[in-house]
A and B are shown apart, each in its own frame.
Chain A
Amino acid sequence: MSSASLDRGFRRSRSRPPGTTPAAGNRRSPLRFWPQYVAVSPFFLIFAAFGLFPLGFSAWLAFHRWDGVNPVTFAGLDQFRFLLEDATFRKAVVNTIIIWIMATVPMLAMSLAIAAMLNAVRRFRTFYQVVLFLPSVTSIVAIAIFFKAIFNNQVGVVNQVLEGIGLPGVEWLNGYWTIKIVLATLMTWQWVGYNAIIYFAGLQAISTEVYEAAKLDGAGALRTFVSITVPLLRPIILFTVVVSTIGGMQTFAEPQVLFGSNASINPNSGGPGQAGLTMVLYFYQQAFNNNNYGYGAAIAYGVFAVIAVFALLNWRLTARSEK
């Protein structure tokens, strides 16, 4: 998102608001703008109560110990020190990053391929678009329950198909990597079509003249795709990467529902070997299962730091390839 596009609205805005006569415009009292302030104030009032105040409170909590019942005690930097040494948190960070990469890279590649196909056909486009959108409007709880059923270790349909073609079944919901594969497949299934539609919109915006020129210069289909389509789609691709990063770093409901009934250990532990324990799931477990509010707040800031690092990385990578 360039600053130019953000400013587009401001450019059109007027120096003198409608509804005021030039004579009244001499006085610059903010009170004259009361309708505008009334219009924007609901957001900021709610934002102050349920956004800004909690952020500050969170920061304060991270320096304290509190279980919600007993008196609050000051902890200083203890929670953050513990966070840095916490092997479980480290495991959750690694899990989150692995699942994010396993889900995002194949997903965006497939989305681009689907968008190219959709751009190449002329009939049934609306039908394809509706189907592509369908998974993204389906509830994550229903999807996770479904994936749990088909990837069942013993009788899931995936294993039945594998055994049907003579391959050994896989204990999908037990292994370190297989749990991650199931989660990544789930996320890919839900968002591949949505991203394809976004790419398709970008492809529609590329003018045919560019392709005609490329054809005149003798470029083949692959060359055209690599040298024209991908570079022109760059802003959109980068945007989907950034959004998928922020979404992937906050993965929570997928493992929570997938392993929610595994009550033999903690229901929010992310399954066998904690292979599906993501950062936000760990946060939830500490804050709301263990009532460890202070440490939960510290984890939340840890999650924020990890997201910030990845956002910065994204930004650095794009800034470099811009040259």
Chain B
Amino acid sequence: MAAQNTLTVRGQAAGGTPARRNKGVRNSAKWAHLPLVLTTLLLIFPFYWTVVMATNTNADYYLTPPKVVPGTHLLENISSVLTSINFFGSMANTAIVAVSVTVLVLFLDSMAAFAFAKYDFPAKKFLFGLMLAFFMVPAQLSTVPQYITMTHIGWVGTLQALIVPAAANAFGIFWMRQYISTAIPDEILDAAVVDGCGFFRQYVLIVLPVIRPGLAFLGIYTFVAAWNDYVWPLIVLINPDMLTLQVALSQLNATRNTDYAVVMAGALLAIVPLIVVFLLFSKQFVADSVKGAVR
């Protein structure tokens, strides 16, 4: 779904002059809150129900009518999760992968995007087009040979098998290029050249400080995608001690499929860190994605 943010339409960015806009025909329609609240409840319900199931026993799950309030068995369910799978180990693996991928993508993509946005160099258009083409090829076309490549270089079951391929992020370069070409005025770069700044000093001293909002959005997006990645880790991580959270969680689901209380406690443990990260940065995230969409 990444590509949705690259959308380009002509127009004003969101949140321009709300006061003036409101004086026009569109007054606040209070009735619209009702469907919005209903939608909100439907979207939040799974999170609430996960809490209900994770805090009761598996026997409670089979009650009629169902329990609708949280119970008191959260701690024992969590301890069952911790004995069934290597939860903290897989969470540490997931964190290592997600942080490494995010740092690499932010650094490599913004630097490449700067070159693509502000410089002309031989074969630039060809290279950029090649990158865009790669962006559109479905991932599973190369899954089998990628796996074979990993067996040959001895990376199967290692975390770098997840980190290194994910560092080549065409969407990130494309998005950052759009951002840099509008956010950085050429005049500043010209002034920097007069002061004797080369490419890399311009990147560090001028570009990086200015594009921080763009980096924030790309960073959260990349982090979430890496944290939730499922297919490739499922294929390439064969050692039970080296799983990522999503794969470990799916195995908990597969082996303990009757104990819903434990499985849901595991699901809860796995989504809480992500929700916390998201809520911490959500204002930035929402604002930047909306800006990115109408840019």
Contacts and interface: CB of A to CB of B under 8 A. Distances in A.
Partners in one complex: yes
Interface in B247-270: 249-250, 253-255, 257, 260, 263-264, 267-268, 270
B28 A121 contact: yes
Nearest to A193: B43
Contact of B144 (A43, A114, A300): A300
Interface of chain A, main secondary structure: helix
Contact of B36 (A6, A121, A157, A257): A121
Interface string A11-46: 011110111000000001010010111011011101
Nearest to B191: A18
Interface stretch (B60-68, B69-77, B79-87, B208-216): B60-68
Q: Which of B36, B115, B178, B199 has the most CB of A within 10 A?
A: B36
Interface string B34-68: 01100110111011011001000000011011100
A153 interface: no
A138 B198 CA distance: 42
Nearest to B107: A42
Interface stretch (A78-86, A95-103, A139-147): A139-147
Contact of A198 (B42, B111, B293): B293
Contacts of A253: 230-231
B1 A191 contact: yes
A3 B108 CA distance: 25
Contacts of B197: 18-19
A202 B291 CA distance: 10
A126 B282 CA distance: 9
B117 A13 contact: yes
Interface residues of B, number: 132
A181 interface: no
Interface in A212-267: 212, 215, 235-236, 239-240, 243, 246-247, 249-250, 252-253, 256-257, 260-261, 263, 267
Interface of B: 1, 3-4, 6-15, 18, 21-22, 24-26, 28-30, 32-33, 35-36, 39-40, 42-44, 46-47, 49-50, 53, 61-62, 64-66, 108-109, 111-112, 114-125, 127, 130-132, 134, 137-149, 164-165, 167-170, 173, 177-178, 180-182, 186, 189-190, 192-193, 197-200, 202-203, 224, 227-228, 230-231, 235, 245-246, 249-250, 253-255, 257, 260, 263-264, 267-268, 270-271, 274-275, 278-279, 282-283, 285-286, 289-291, 293-294
